[in-house]
Amino acid sequence: MIVTKDTIIGDIVMADDGVAPIFMYAGLHCLGCALASGETVEEACAVHGLDCDELIEELNNYFQSKG
């Protein structure tokens, strides 16, 4: 999976729930919330004041390491 700013968080978690700690460490603790599952990475980062590019890089590094 390749994560972009437009990728839906729910799709990322469904692809591999091993990403949950990445979201939690970044400060996105609401993975189970209905809004979170339908939000894009960019929307969630904007709401929580996070660096979107940094989170995307971490997520993509995770998926690349999975082969």
> What pLDDT, on a 0 to 100 scale, did the predictor assign at position 36?
67
Give the confidence band of 67 by pLDDT, cuts at 50, 70, 90: confident
CA distance 32 to 63: 21
Domain ranges in the chain?
Answer: 1-50
Reference 52, options 2, 5, 12; nearest CA is: 5
Other CB atoms within 10 A of residue 3 CB: 21
> What pLDDT, on a 0 to 100 scale, did the predictor assign at position 65?
96
CA distance 17 to 3: 14
Distance separating the N- and C-terminal Cα atoms of the chain: 10
Give Rg (Cα) of the chain: 10
Give the confidence band of 34 by pLDDT, cuts at 50, 70, 90: low
Structural class in CATH, domain 1-50 = mainly alpha
